[in-house]
Amino acid sequence: MTLTKRQLLKSLLGGVALTVLPLSAMAQARKIMVVASTVDIPNFDPHVATGYAPQWLFRNVYDPLVRVTGTPPVATPGLAASWEMSEDGMTYTFHLDPTARFTDGSAVTAADVVYSFQRLLRLGTGPAWMVAGILDGDSVVATDDATVTMNLLKPFAPLLSVLPWMFIVNAAVVEANLGTDDAQAYLLQNIAGSGAFTINRALPGELYELLRVENDWHQGGNIDAVFWRIVREAATTRMLLQRGEVHFALDLFTEDMEALEGVPGVVRIMEPDYRSFSIKMNTAHGPLMDKNLRKAISYAFNYQSMLDAAQPAALMVGPLPPGMFGANPDLEVYRQDMDKAREYLAASDYADGGFTLSIHYAAGYEQQRRWCLILLEALATLNIQLDIRPMVWPDVVAMARSPETVTDFFSIFQSSNYADPDNTAYAAYHSSRNGQWQNPTYSNPEVDRLIEEARAATTPEARAELYGQFQEVVVEDAPDIFGVLELRKFAMRDNVQGYEFCPVGATSPEIWPLSLA
């Protein structure tokens, strides 16, 4: 029997081979790239799931109209080979790449693009919030088989920046598996994309295995397959990287980077990006509904200890990442001041303390665990105890859906999907996002208004003014302990070729352009 390249690869990647051959030997023989992450992939539906692990999957098994690459980030062709914008900024026209094919070999058409945007907006989950109020079900039109016209409901400066997260599905495949939930059950575990890879095997909590599509239409890279390998402990990840059993190690900490300095075959990557860490508070259920208590805790927290544990890093100055357009570096924010902490505690309904609050941290994130301990010490000064719980990411996402189930403190990293303040402001503070992990509970109509006006404003000056007001109102509300902006820290083997850092989606790298020497 003659095996095709894909069939041969499948047989090599089967369970027996995986247990017999060392991963490094398989990778060397077949150009298999191994990416280590602490985070699982809970859902394969590009119009539903969010978070960096699902986004990594989507960037490699689906395609958007427009990609984002480089530093500073710029929009580059995806399914659209080119595009133009009308003078008033209200109409965009996209011309599809005629070579683009879904993994079943059928051509990607303008009708697929229209179908995908209509499904995204109909479901109203996943990345739909990025174009909420900007597009509706009639906004995206197929002018012909290869041309898509997008008519905006209002001006939206970051449009090209958000399109890399709007993935196009094969309408025929989705329609054939609609069920009663718009194919959500089908796409929970199946792929209907045009990406360079498709999924071959999923072992939740352990491994996700992608295979290069036969006759892949993308140009570049020699990778035949990719393993997204779940490794919970950073020390284990570091060891695997040093031994050459992992090519990309995504979740490393300061001491890991120090330990990897000068290690043969390892390239360290420490770059500034817009990923922030904050400790959000449950403003819709429990004691932290009390703003005075939130302010007391904000003043009791030891920000310097958090910074020391995160180096190299910078403290957040309010809700927007430092350096991003609109961020006010002179904003007056909370810093440790025990006199003010006791003053606000006395003004709260919990003046004597004597109760216990809860917080989770992502299992395997040593940095988050340390920051939880710093919060524990701060609360102890207010006679408040803290229950610290490690949790895996799918449980964190599920917990965020209701104020009654979310912990009192909700600790998260938030990466920027696009380099615009709208990303952080809308995802993390607009009330329409309640129940999502970026903003489980916070709601303020004044903040909603400022965010909506800022995303529709047409001049940089007007947007900067609105974001200035937004930051002041959020800080006054004290819904978060504004944390740190770390340098992105990860490492790769020196035989990885073609990699270029991008501060947007840095932990969700596209694999198809890369090669292994």
Domains, the chain, ranges and CATH?
Answer: 273-487 (3.10.105.10)
Whole-number pLDDT of residue 25: 52
Answer for the pair 12, 495: CB distance below 8 angstroms, yes or no: no
Whole-number pLDDT of residue 8: 38
Whole-number pLDDT of residue 28: 53
Q: How far apart are CA 354 and CA 341, in angstroms?
A: 16
Q: How far apart are CA 513 and CA 517, in angstroms?
A: 13
Whole-number pLDDT of residue 7: 39
pLDDT mean for each 10 residues of the chain (517 residues)? 38 38 54 94 93 93 95 92 93 98 97 98 93 93 97 90 96 97 96 96 95 94 96 92 95 88 95 87 98 98 92 89 88 97 98 96 84 96 96 88 95 82 92 92 97 87 95 98 90 96 88 95
| Sequential DSSP letters for 403-465 | TTTS-SEEEEEE--SSSSHHHHHHHHH-GGGTTBTTBSS---HHHHHHHHHHHH--SHHHHHH
Whole-number pLDDT of residue 367: 82
Whole-number pLDDT of residue 6: 42
Whole-number pLDDT of residue 355: 97
Phi and psi, residue 200, nearest 5°: -105, -35
Phi and psi, residue 360, nearest 5°: -110, 160
Indicate the SS3 state at residue 150. Answer: strand
Supply the pTM of this predicted model: 0.78
Side-chain-side CA neighbours of residue 185 (13 Å): 6
